Amino acid sequence: MKIIFEKNKLLSAIAPMLGVVSSKNTIAAIEGIKISTKGSFCELAAFDNEKGIKNTVEAKIEEEGSYIINAGKLYQIVRVLPDGEVTITVNDRNITEISSGLSCFELHALPGDDFPVLPELSGETGFTVGQAELHEMINKVMFAVAVNDPKPMLNGVYFKINGSKITAVSCDGQRLALREKICDIDNIVESSELQMEFILPGKSLSELTKLLSDDEEKKVKIILGRKHVIFLIEDLIFFTRMIDSNYIEYERFIPKTNRIFVKAESESIIKCLERAMLVTEEKTMGQMKSHLKCSFSDKKLAFSSVSVSGKFYDEISIEKDGDDIEIGFNCKYFMDAMRCVDTDYIKLSMSTPLMSMLIEPAEKKPDDTFIYLVLPVRM
């Protein structure tokens, strides 16, 4: 194989793949990028058996072939080579030469056949949506995705598309995040109503968000395959397996009959939680964490916390409807949810110190809303 690339084109094609290749794996092939010639183009693929990227780069193909080159090394080498043309040559003994001008690196490649077979990247249903809209939606529920939970669906985000409404839900057993938004959606099957649901792994989504632009003009096409979801982001194809399971019946966890309702300014709460974290997240004595006590009384919400190293107290003004209540939280969980709030005022709903608290916009907009739920801790 002998291919001549323009250095910067090659570099920007490899860069997004670094997050997808598996590192420290026992199978060397999936630490690599598969480079294959396809007519006058060069196809690049990275796949860790869960998520992957496929991409094409314009290049001068002097000799055809298909080889796997370690992704990290390839990127580092191309990055430091002089600007201009970069030539990648692989000989019969898999010895790979990456050169530009007089600079030359030599390393070993693996034959392209060793690469895992990419899943079938096609499907009949799907839609097009703004990259920025999808990006924001994922960012604001990611914090509540479980990591290595034995219930596989909790390690992902549940998406439900119903016409132009997208719902995204995550839940790790201690908290739940739900966003719902009417988006500017184009159904690719125009004759039928858009109705689909799927669960995508958290790890895949955090790679996906790196590829999604914040430009409101740019679109991403999402296609539902048999076992995979395929994202077409400009010339790049990102794909990830779905978590093959039903999602938890999350609506059952959202209390419907709360008796205490509080309206408060989001920013004031965030500031207080930030301060409280200095005491509650104290780690000097091992992994000691103390809880945050929230006392809602009359027109005042008082935060307090005591740990081995000190005490904290702060208060803010609120509007309350219902009884006074004292309720304890894991400060970080409360904070994670508050950081994803995007309204100036929020509504907190509670009923007892043992039942979860709901965080919602103070004034609900039907086309863009959220519900965050945080379980209290026993004090």
Judged by beta carbon, residue 174 or residue 268, the one nearer its own copies is 268
- Site for its own copies, residues 236 to 275, rule: CB under 8 A: 271-272, 274-275
| Residues 297 to 316 in contact with its own copies, rule: CB under 8 A | 309-316
The secondary structure element, H or E, covering residue 231 is: strand 228-233
- Classify 273 as helix, strand or coil: helix
* Phi, psi values for residue 213, rounded to 5°: -85, 160
Among 2, 7, 9, 73, binds its own copies (CB under 8 A): 73
CA-based torsion, 18, 201, 226, 186: positive or negative: negative
Residue 279 found at the interface with its own copies (CB under 8 A): yes
Q: What is the DSSP string of 135-196?
A: HHHHHTTGGG--SS-SSGGGGEEEEEEETTEEEEEEE-SSEEEEEEEE---EESSTTS--EE
Among 104, 189, 354, 379, indicate the residue that binds its own copies (CB under 8 A). 104
Contacts (Cβ under 8 Å, ≥6 apart) of 108? 94, 95, 96
In this structure, what DSSP letter does residue 353 have?
Answer: T
Exposed e or buried b for every residue in 122-157, given b needs 16+ CB within 10 A? ebebbbebbbbbbbbbbebbbbbbbeeeeeebbbbb
- Asked if 105 interacts with its own copies (CB under 8 A), we say yes
Q: Does 334 bind its own copies (CB under 8 A)?
A: no
Give the shortest CB-278-to-its own copies separation in angstroms.
Answer: 5
CB of 312 to its own copies, least distance (A): 5
Among 26, 39, 80, 117, binds its own copies (CB under 8 A): 80
Residue type, 322: G
Find the part of the chain contacting its own copies (CB under 8 A) among 45-53, 78-86, 330-338, 366-374: 78-86
| Of positions 12, 103, 162, 195, contacts its own copies by CB under 8 A | 103
Q: Does 108 bind its own copies (CB under 8 A)?
A: yes
- What would the two tokens of residue 105 be? 């690196």
Which of 63, 106, 235, 344 touches its own copies by CB under 8 A?
106
State the DSSP H helix or E strand holding residue 224, giving kind and residue range, or none if neither.
Answer: strand 219-224
Min. distance of Cβ 293 from its own copies in angstroms? 14
* Closest to its own copies by CB, 73 or 332: 73
Which residues contact its own copies (rule: CB under 8 A)? 73, 76-77, 80-82, 102-108, 271-272, 274-275, 278-279, 309-316
